[in-house]
Amino acid sequence: MSRICVTVVVGARAFISDHVAVVQKSRRPRTAFEKFTLQIERRILQGESLEPLLQFITDELVEQCGYSLAQISLKEHDGAVALRAVAGRAASFVQNIHVRWDDTSGGGGPTGRAIRTGKPQTSDILFDPGFIPWRDRAVECGLRCALALPLIAYDQILGALTVFTSEDAGFSLEDELELAGFVDQVALSIVGARDQRKIRLQTAALEATANAILITSADGVIEFVNPAFTTLTGWSAEEVIGQTPRILRSGNHSRAFYRQMWDTLKAGLVWRGEMYNRRRTGEIYIEEQTITPVRDERGVITHYVAIKQDISERKRQEEKIRYLALHDQLTNLPNRRALDSMLERVLYSARNGEQAAILMIDVDDFKLINDSAGHPIGDRFLADIGGALLKDLRPGDLLARFGGDEFVVLLRNVAPNDAVVIAERLRRRVENFAFDDEDLSMPVSISIGLAPIDASSDAKTLIANADSALYAAKHRGKNRTIAYPFAPGLGMQLADAGHWIARIRSALRENRMMLYFQPVIRLGSGEPEHFEALIRLHENGVIINPDEFLPVAERYGLMAQIDRWVFDDVLRTLRDRPFLRIFANLSGASLNDEELLQYIEEQIRSSGIPPGQLAFEITESVAVNDFATARNWIHRLKELGCVFALDDFGIGFSSLGYLRALAVDYIKIDRTFIRDVDTNPTNRALVQAVNTVAHTLGKEVIAEGVESEAHAAVLREIGVEHGQGYHWGLPAVEIRDGCTYDVVFTQR
């Protein structure tokens, strides 16, 4: 810093010496000005900022030369002149005076002319027409003559030094010459002070920045590190200055890695990348680093500036997210997304002659297990079933959790008959399975639907065929394997399914569907912020839960009709209660129904519902499986003021790229992550990671399945905004006039 200032001062003295050489032939320099110049130099070297330095100059001019007024004005980009320092008995003259340097009425005075022309300007105040706007005031202050000299440094006009006298004689040639030489020192002082301020700001920024910064010479010797570097690496500035960055090497990168990095830098290009380095303690960490070459005025690289950030924790979180993106959190088996990827590879091999098969597996009467033993026992049961199935699979086969109590097996290099043998072996394994829990004592079995994979198969049809075979196995008595295509005589005679289809259609036709509402609570206040509409079927005075009829509706194409009914009823409720916000669920089948989307758009436009009160939920798996369609629905309905939530987030753990591209307002974390968030550090960390990602993307978070104050307390601590679950009450509804509902809370 000091070297820069010395250079400025020495240059200034040389410049002044050359400028006044002619004068020195005929007269002796004024000692006062020489002393003045030395004082200015000393103040610059001491790091004095611009404002007090300029004020010192004007004060000394008045003191040494007896001027009535001295002022320093700096040039502004918009044509104005900024008065930065003023001194003298007539200092009141400049109050509320606005001077310009452009060619306007305010730029006619000596200061404006000096800045505009770059030449000294003298003014007889009584006769100078450019001084007319300020003449009367100047006379009142006893001012008679003015001399303005432009402040020029490095061919740039910075402003002007203007002095006033009360003497009629004005300024002598000697005065002008002395001031002309001195004013160059003032201009260079302004540049020096500005550079000093810039350097101080840059140094403060380097010292205060949270990222580690390292500066090396062109040959890689460390010249500067900031405090954040010491925090990151454990090495102090004294220990590393004079060393090279090799002191940080971990040994995890090859010579080729460093050669490529240096080739990039020596070519004058910026290098960005991730690097394993070693702290002073020996601990290896991962840093994200940007190295930038710095060139001098000739274009020669003189330094390299490296900005470093520790990303070890982020990498660990990303690794967890990558794992969860392909694995089911409950069973640790591959999830639906991993299955889809593997299925595509199997289909590719099938087109090249490989025989394969898919098994769709469903646990028989799993709802009874959940209801009798509770969800925690049911979850552990599913995990143990998955472990049991793995024991009878061959290397290369894939077992995945499809969702709920369903599993899928992909069998490779297997003939159809052998696939049946393997399926039966899996079925018998579960049939003989002994679940180790004193609260659960009941027979366990699975039903299996099998579909062969051949060259003509596609993923959607293949899963549908296996699903149909599974459904046939269920309706043939469960605990059996049925292959697709079906054996003669079986066909699709699934009387029970047909019975349910008729009941669903009758309920839709007779308006015997009904909505329950569950509140979503703002955790900070404990107050309900909005409600989720949950469908039920009303039949002969009995309320039928959706688990009973929605699976059939999904398999046989009735979901779009159900979703339309739900939408109509939610819209009707909002017309009566426009202060509510209600979320309605959309199924995957509905997203493929363009006619339904157009119908919803038309009804919203004509409803008069306030924007933002009508909201929709789609599940993560639905959004990922048909991303383009989901995004289309979200885009079109949000244009009408609707709000969207991504439901069941975490079961499939979709790519963050999908999450960034979906313009949802809320992310609902699946209940499997919440049920033990107060006791399971892993689940707590995952909820925190999802919450951080969601907030980074500008989305709010809803935690499903909150069943205790302990859950709610942890979620508040993490920063989750909303909670939904039995902790605040069961979903409930009061029926009035057969169609209008009041939300009530049934406390547990």
Q: Give DSSP secondary structure letters for 548-587.
A: HHHHHHHHTT-HHHHHHHHHHHHHHHHHH-TT--EEEE--
| Cα gap 584→571, rounded to integer Å | 10
| Cα gap 224→215, rounded to integer Å | 5
| Cα gap 245→219, rounded to integer Å | 11
The maximal CA–CA distance of the chain, rounded, in angstroms, is 128
Query: For residue 412, what pLDDT is reported?
Result: 93
| Cα gap 103→593, rounded to integer Å | 69
Place of tokens 């991303």: 627
Q: Does domain 2-203 have CATH number 3.30.450.40?
A: yes
Query: For residue 497, what pLDDT is reported?
Result: 61
Tokens describing residue 447? 């039903």
Query: For residue 379, what pLDDT is reported?
Result: 85
| Cα gap 450→360, rounded to integer Å | 6
Q: What is the DSSP letter of 111?
A: H
- Using CB atoms within 10 Å of the CB of residue 10, give its burial: 0 to 12 exposed, 13 to 18 middle, 19+ buried: exposed
Rounded to 5°, the CA angle 458-459-463 comes to 120
Separation in Å, CA 55 to CA 59, 148, 162, 176? 6, 17, 13, 21
Query: For residue 747, what pLDDT is reported?
Result: 34
Q: Which residues of the chain have pLDDT under 70?
A: 1-34, 44-47, 193-208, 371-372, 436-442, 486-499, 651-657, 733-748
| Cα gap 408→430, rounded to integer Å | 15
The DSSP bridge partners found for residue 685 are none
Domain boundaries along the sequence of the chain? 2-203, 210-310, 318-493, 500-742
Domain 500-742: which topology? TIM Barrel (3.20.20)
Tokens describing residue 719? 């920063």
| Cα gap 550→493, rounded to integer Å | 20
Q: Do domains 2-203 and 318-493 have the same CATH topology?
A: no
- Mention the CATH class of domain 210-310: alpha beta
| Cα gap 394→421, rounded to integer Å | 13
Query: For residue 66, what pLDDT is reported?
Result: 87
| Cα gap 559→565, rounded to integer Å | 10
- Mention the CATH class of domain 318-493: alpha beta
Q: What is the DSSP letter of 243?
A: S
Rounded to 5°, the CA angle 699-701-707 comes to 175
Contact 571/609 with Cβ under 8 angstroms? yes
Rounded to 5°, the CA angle 22-27-33 comes to 90
Specify the pairing of strand 156-165 against strand 69-75.
antiparallel
Residue closest to 593 by CA, chosen among 627, 630, 641, 620: 630
Tokens describing residue 295? 């060139």
The DSSP bridge partners found for residue 532 are 518, 583
| Cα gap 459→451, rounded to integer Å | 11
Whole-structure pTM value? 0.42
Contact 639/611 with Cβ under 8 angstroms? no
Around Cβ 15, how many Cβ atoms within 10 Å? 16
pLDDT in tens, 10-60: 333 333 333 333 333 333 345 566 677 777 777 766 667 788 888 998 998
| Cα gap 446→366, rounded to integer Å | 10
Around Cβ 143, how many Cβ atoms within 10 Å? 23
Contact 43/53 with Cβ under 8 angstroms? yes
Contact 278/298 with Cβ under 8 angstroms? no
